[in-house]
């Protein structure tokens, strides 16, 4: 099974990048399923029904979120009726968070793919343990038994926490991929147990920016510590960044992981298939 | 002028990786200068005179540090007599920190290269402003006038702070490169003003690990929150990770930046020269 | 029912302070139960069997812990056989933490008192939700029904998180008291629902110090950002700091809360009974 | 010389509390100078010209700020023409922050008092070193020589950083007092070198709240991690919290420090003079 995961879509530039490039990529790579992290899709902050629709129309089958899930308040109700939208799974019990943190999807060819979204804890706002949360989902839906593929979107800051999650799920998931830092990492590998891993998928964003935002205000805040304006997504052409994974149809484990980068400023790369 | 910068060397695996691969890389790429971040060279924590010597013998001309600079207390005195060892530049005034945070080196062919080490502030221990610190050095030693090349090692966690430093120095430095996260990023680019940039150089370390350390103890701490042992560098073969930069001899600005990855588990890449 | 809670005992000074003053205080105030936070009892870092014994001999009936629980590794096994030692309750599932995070004690006169230790999350290492953890204990052991008194030790940094826990438990606990900051607060009050509350109990420590430690090394670290030595508890006479609570025997709610400060440098205060 | 310092005024409740009680307190204690931390005076976030005027009319001679200084953008221009408004002193060089971080005031009787506002670094947004910043002011304006009294408002989270600042300034300032946590501490003392010290002055706010705010939204965020509304200052009667200091007219050192609490829920205390 071939699928792809794209990192945080930042604003209109990121949405337009996917609209422009994803159909070609999907076709060229023969993708059966496409997951997109959309926590910054709406003006850099959260997701709305309209921006989600753009991404679905571009070819996304599932959208994941992160620490910006609810920046747009309409997402709190939209997610209840949109099963393709996945928020972090490790909310504490009393949160009674709307929507779902994991979902099992059926592809057109009848395969099943479980997608789980997690928030890490290092340098992030606190949530319940993402390792226990992953463990519970992986025990409930074993790879190769209850799901043909399993994708963990580990949304967090620290490379150590992402790598630890990779090893924690190694042999039990098809792919563990990080999001949140908005920069693609060059460490795609298949871990010893057969799980594909990349520390960060990177963003779908203009890379002449500060993690997808216009440089002016971030530079002002870094140098003066006084904010004078809000953050705005940079408006140049996006590089869409993600990973391509091919799994073994029997085990669900990864046969291959390759980076995808296309458009904008970063050096392009597309897997040969 | 051609030079290279390698990210955080982690323990014996990282030192051995450089000893094994750097002479070939240096020769093949025609490197006139090599900088290595060595904050984790000694058993993963800091630097000693002996581990520094190994790196100099492998072909490093300059070693930079970071938040682990003084994990080995001998570094506090060693740095005073070793001008090739550079600690973060942005210590506060009362620190009266030993050693130096920037140094102008002469290459064999008579060119000059300024190396500055900075600690970022986001999710890091506090230091004085790294932007003001960079600004002061760049004003005192203008690129193309007082230095043929200028390299800024921005040692920090947040991708946003690294990208902001890239833009802040754009046109005034040859290279702004991040360290600290131990994962190479795939975003090498020349910024609009002519400064080469990559968010993180990556580590020289075994990548079957948690950022260069044996997996067992980090996984225990992440899942149980109770430490039972110390961290130990992973002992498999290292991937040496860095960037290659070629500058314009007149302006000192970058003509080219390419990632370097060699050995170990990550997909290898060496620039064609 | 009259009981007292004393904040973080720091090293020998703190232990000696309780040994010297607690018998008198216990007698004078007619205390039926005494709880002491002991996370810094052993040289400022954690607890050992010997230091615990000193505190029990001084008159403590129960010891609570915090983020320093396991600084002394022997505590990991000691706690298994010592039911009077309570560690934080909100460890994640996979931690399988040794010992217990809550315990129901019987006083000599046959009354029952539930003690719960929680770690907050703001500016602290991550744990599972302390509010859900408190809620579970309070539901399982209702005040005035299953326990004559309930004490929540909310060990954390932020005043906001402590006050929020106070209100969250208001009407369901006899006392919510903070620990960890090592400074007594002057905000003892009975909340609208009947729960006694004080943001921090303060430390049992020498107050000519930096939160109980010798000033020299903390001042060096603050001014230079370079550590040169370890922290050592200050050795002057301790002020023992805590709160006195009197509860209604029918409801378990608080009739009265008063600060206790005795010995050392801080202005002494003992409730009139 | 007798003066007083009041902690963070939170919204209308805090302003009304000072308007109602400060004239009496000022008269009763014979205060020659009154400093008020006003970073939360305007609806809990920052300061405006109108809210500042209320505080001056209530009897404040000087207002200090903190991490919320610029929440109301008009403060950026207002502070330029209002020398009685003091923002944190330790902005980095490139900030070119408006207004001033320290000012020498003349009292009606012709005495001089230097007021310095500092932001701490632990668990706070980064600033340049507050210790170096304090040192510079104290060297430039020696106590008993260039100023009859010196007050340092150390605005920060950690009790350790506040206590360290107290000792750092001991013998060189009349008073080091903390703000920001919105809870008064019960540790007023004169340090060995003669500087009066209290870890936190406390807030001028309604204490049936979460650090001065209506409980509902903070409790929601703590338990669910999802914000649904903004923070609003609690509207019950405020307890005005501060410290009273009397200095030696020859040396400027402290003869006496006593807490002030009046109105609202907390147990009232006023020094006998
Ligand atoms: Fe994002
Ligand atoms: Fe994010
Ligand atoms: Fe490192
Ligand atoms: Fe580092
Ligand atoms: Fe603690
Ligand atoms: Fe403590
Ligand atoms: Fe405040
Ligand atoms: Fe504040």
Each residue's pLDDT tens digit, B64-90 = 999 999 999 999 999 999 999 999 999
Which residues have CB under 8 Å from D98's CB, separation 6+? D76, D77, D79, D80, D87
Please give the pLDDT value at position C217: 98
Residues A210 and D189: their CA atoms lie apart, in Å, by 48
CB contact under 8 A, D224 and A96: yes
Q: What is the pLDDT of residues B82-115, one digit of tens each?
A: 999 999 999 999 999 999 999 999 999 999 999 9
Residues B146 and B144: their CA atoms lie apart, in Å, by 6
Nearest to A129 among C93, C122, C132 (CB): C93
Residues C159 and D178: their CA atoms lie apart, in Å, by 14
The count of other CB atoms within 10 Å of the CB of residue A216 is 15
Q: What is the pLDDT of residues C161-181, one digit of tens each?
A: 999 999 999 999 999 999 999
Give the gap in angstroms from C-alpha B136 to the nearest C-alpha of chain D: 10
Q: What is the pLDDT of residues B160-212, one digit of tens each?
A: 999 999 999 999 999 999 999 999 999 999 999 999 999 999 999 999 999 99
The model's confidence at residue D192, banded by pLDDT at 50, 70 and 90, is very high
Ligand (nearest to CA of B66) = 4
CB contact under 8 A, D158 and C160: no
Per cent of chain D over pLDDT 70 is 100
Please give the pLDDT value at position D153: 99
Element containing residue D50 per DSSP (H, E):
helix D49-58
CB contact under 8 A, A224 and D97: yes
Q: Helix (H, G, I), strand (E, B), or coil: what is residue D155?
A: strand
Element containing residue D217 per DSSP (H, E):
helix D216-224
Protein residues within 5 Å, CB atom, of ion ligand 4: B 66-67, 180
Mean pLDDT of A101-107: 98
Buried b (16+ CB within 10 A) or exposed e, C7-21: bbbbbbbbbbbbbeb
Q: Is residue A101 within 8 Å of A85, Cβ to Cβ?
A: no
Rounded to a whole number, what is the largest CA-CA distance in chain D?
56
Ligand 8: centre distance to CA C163 (Å): 16
Which residues have CB under 8 Å from C249's CB, separation 6+? C1, C111, C148
Judged on CB neighbours under 10 Å (0-12, 13-18, 19+), C122 is: middle
Residues C1 and C7: their CA atoms lie apart, in Å, by 20
Q: Helix (H, G, I), strand (E, B), or coil: what is residue C6?
A: strand
CB contact under 8 A, D129 and B128: yes
Please give the pLDDT value at position A165: 98
Which residues in B lie closer than 8 A to residue C125 (C-beta atoms)? 225
The values of phi and psi at residue A104, to 5°, are -100, 115
Q: Is residue A264 within 8 Å of A236, Cβ to Cβ?
A: yes
CB contact under 8 A, B211 and A123: no
| Closest residue in A to B209 (Cα–Cα) | A163
Residues C244 and C18: their CA atoms lie apart, in Å, by 15
CB contact under 8 A, C168 and D223: yes
SS3 string, B44-74, reads CCCCCHHHHHHHHHHCCCEEECCCCCCCCCC
Query: How many residues comprise chain C?
Result: 273
SS3 string, A124-179, reads CCCCCCHHHHHHHHHHHCCECCCECEEEEEEECCCHHHHHHHHHHHCCCCCEEEEE
The count of other CB atoms within 10 Å of the CB of residue B272 is 6
The model's confidence at residue D193, banded by pLDDT at 50, 70 and 90, is very high
| Closest residue in B to D93 (Cα–Cα) | B132
Please give the pLDDT value at position C52: 98
Mean pLDDT of A224-251: 97
- DSSP for B194-208, written as a single string: S-EEES----BB-SS
Q: Which two tokens stand for residue B153?
A: 């090692």
Please give the pLDDT value at position A266: 98
pLDDT by residue for chain C (273 residues), tens only, comes to 999 999 999 999 999 999 999 999 999 999 999 999 999 999 999 999 999 999 999 999 999 999 999 999 999 999 999 999 999 999 999 999 999 999 999 999 999 999 999 999 999 999 999 999 999 999 999 999 999 999 999 999 999 999 999 999 999 999 999 999 999 999 999 999 999 999 999 999 999 999 999 999 999 999 999 999 999 999 999 999 999 999 999 999 999 999 999 999 999 999 999
CB contact under 8 A, B199 and A183: yes
Protein residues within 5 Å, CB atom, of ion ligand 7: D 8, 39-40
Q: Which two tokens stand for residue C85?
A: 């030692």
Which subunits count as partners of chain C given 3+ CB pairs below 8 Å? Answer: A, B, D
Per cent of chain B over pLDDT 90 is 100
Residues B182 and B201: their CA atoms lie apart, in Å, by 8
* Nearest-10 crossing angle of helices C49-58, C11-29: 30
- E-strand spans in D225-270? 240-247, 254-262
B182 tagged catalytic: no
Kind of pairing between the strands at B62-64 and B85-86: parallel
Q: Which two tokens stand for residue D87?
A: 């923002």
Residues D174 and D172: their CA atoms lie apart, in Å, by 7
Active site members of C: 68
Give the gap in angstroms from C-alpha C216 to the nearest C-alpha of chain A: 30
The model's confidence at residue A22, banded by pLDDT at 50, 70 and 90, is very high
Q: What angle do CA A90, B184, A219 make, to 5 degrees?
A: 80
| Closest residue in C to A124 (Cα–Cα) | C126
Nearest to A127 among D96, D125, D225 (CB): D225
Q: Which residue, among A201, A135, A211, has the nearest Cα to A167 in the 3D structure?
A: A135
Residues D235 and D237: their CA atoms lie apart, in Å, by 7
Q: Which two tokens stand for residue A112?
A: 């099943």
Per cent of chain D over pLDDT 90 is 100
Ligand (nearest to CA of C118) = 5
Indicate whether this complex's ipTM tops 0.90.
yes
Q: How many pairs of residues across C and D have Cβ atoms under 8 Å apart? A: 119
Ligand 7: centre distance to CA D244 (Å): 20
**How far is the first Cα of chain C from the last one, in angstroms, to the nearest whole number?**
13
Mean pLDDT of D119-146: 98
Residues A33 and A259: their CA atoms lie apart, in Å, by 16
CB contact under 8 A, B210 and A160: yes
pTM, rounded to two decimals:
0.98
Q: Helix (H, G, I), strand (E, B), or coil: what is residue B186?
A: coil
Please give the pLDDT value at position B222: 98
Q: How many pairs of residues across A and B have Cβ atoms under 8 Å apart? A: 121
- E-strand spans in chain A? 2-6, 33-37, 62-64, 85-86, 102-106, 112-119, 149-155, 175-179, 189-190, 196-198, 240-247, 254-262
Residues C210 and D98: their CA atoms lie apart, in Å, by 33
Give the mutation candidate from C91, C121, C128 for the A interface (greatest A CB count, under 10 A).
C128
Which subunits count as partners of chain D given 3+ CB pairs below 8 Å? Answer: A, B, C
| Closest residue in A to C128 (Cα–Cα) | A128
Q: What is the pLDDT of residues A34-65, one digit of tens each?
A: 999 999 999 999 999 999 999 999 999 999 99
Please give the pLDDT value at position A147: 98
Nearest to D129 among B92, B131, B135 (CB): B92
Please give the pLDDT value at position A79: 98
- What is the separation of C-alpha A186 from the centre of its chain, rounded to a whole number of angstroms? 16
| Measured CA distances, C128 to A139, B149, C131, C153, C162 (Å) | 20, 50, 9, 16, 16
Which residues have CB under 8 Å from A205's CB, separation 6+? A8, A9, A10, A11, A13, A14, A17, A40, A182, A211, A212, A233, A234, A238, A239, A264
Nearest to A187 among B159, B183, B223 (CB): B183
Mean pLDDT of B20-27: 98
CB contact under 8 A, B76 and C227: no
| Closest residue in B to D131 (Cα–Cα) | B94
Nearest to A123 among B157, B164, B207 (CB): B157
Nearest to C94 among A92, A122, A129 (CB): A129
B151-B157-B163-B169 Cα dihedral, nearest 10 degrees: -30
CB contact under 8 A, A164 and B129: no
Ligand 6: centre distance to CA A187 (Å): 41
Give the gap in angstroms from C-alpha C96 to the nearest C-alpha of chain B: 7
Which residues have CB under 8 Å from C136's CB, separation 6+? none
* Half-sphere exposure in the Cβ direction for D204 (13 Å, CA): 32
Residues on chain D bordering chain B, Cβ-to-Cβ distance under 8 angstroms: 92-94, 121-122, 126-129, 131-132, 135
| Measured CA distances, D159 to B53, C203, D184 (Å) | 43, 12, 12
Residues on chain D bordering chain C, Cβ-to-Cβ distance under 8 angstroms: 123, 129, 131-132, 157-161, 163-165, 167-168, 181-189, 191-192, 199-200, 202, 207-211, 215, 218-219, 222-223, 241, 259, 261, 265-267
Q: Which two tokens stand for residue C83?
A: 């039911």
Per cent of chain A over pLDDT 70 is 100
Handedness of CA B200, B203, B208, B211 (dihedral sign): negative
**How far is the first Cα of chain B from the last one, in angstroms, to the nearest whole number?**
12
Which residues in C lie closer than 8 A to residue A94 (C-beta atoms)? 129, 131-132, 135
Which subunits count as partners of chain B given 3+ CB pairs below 8 Å? Answer: A, C, D
Q: Which two tokens stand for residue A174?
A: 């098809």
Q: Which residue, among A167, A206, A162, has the nearest Cα to A180 in the 3D structure?
A: A162
Residues A149 and B273: their CA atoms lie apart, in Å, by 41
Q: Is residue D99 within 8 Å of D70, Cβ to Cβ?
A: no
Give the mutation candidate from D90, D93, D134 for the B interface (greatest B CB count, under 10 A).
D93
Which residues have CB under 8 Å from A24's CB, separation 6+? none
Give the strand order in the sheet containing A189-190: A102-106, A112-119, A149-155, A175-179, A196-198, A189-190
Residues C33 and C61: their CA atoms lie apart, in Å, by 6
Q: Which two tokens stand for residue D83?
A: 């020398």
Please give the pLDDT value at position D267: 98
- What is the separation of C-alpha C38 from the centre of its chain, rounded to a whole number of angstroms? 7
Q: Is residue A32 within 8 Å of A61, Cβ to Cβ?
A: no
């Amino acid at each position: 099974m071939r699928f792809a995961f794209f990192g945080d879509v930042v604003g209109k530039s990121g949405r337009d990048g996917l609209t422009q490039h994803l159909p070609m990529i999907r076709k060229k790579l023969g993708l059966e399923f496409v997951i997109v992290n959309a926590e910054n899709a709406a003006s850099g902050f959260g997701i709305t029904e309209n921006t989600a629709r753009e991404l679905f129309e571009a070819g996304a089958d599932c959208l994941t979120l992160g620490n910006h899930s609810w920046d747009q308040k309409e997402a709190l109700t939209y997610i209840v009726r949109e099963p393709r939208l996945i928020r972090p799974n490790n909310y504490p019990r009393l949160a009674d968070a709307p929507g779902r943190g994991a979902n099992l999807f059926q592809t057109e060819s009848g395969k099943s793919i479980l997608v789980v979204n997690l928030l890490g804890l290092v340098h992030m706002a606190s949530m319940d343990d993402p390792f226990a949360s992953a463990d519970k989902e992986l025990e409930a839906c074993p790879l190769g038994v209850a799901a043909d593929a399993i994708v963990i979107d580990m949304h967090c800051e620290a490379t150590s926490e992402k790598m630890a999650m990779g090893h924690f799920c190694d042999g039990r998931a098809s792919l563990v991929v990080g999001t949140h830092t908005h920069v693609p990492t060059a460490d795609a590998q298949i871990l010893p147990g057969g799980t594909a891993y990349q520390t960060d998928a990177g963003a779908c964003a203009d890379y002449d920016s500060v993690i997808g935002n216009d440089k002016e205000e971030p530079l002002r805040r870094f140098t003066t510590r006084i904010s004078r304006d809000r953050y705005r997504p940079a408006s140049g052409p996006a590089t869409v960044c993600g990973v391509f994974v091919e799994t073994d149809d029997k085990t669900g484990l990864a046969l291959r992981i390759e980076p995808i980068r296309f458009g904008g400023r970063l050096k392009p790369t597309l897997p040969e298939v």
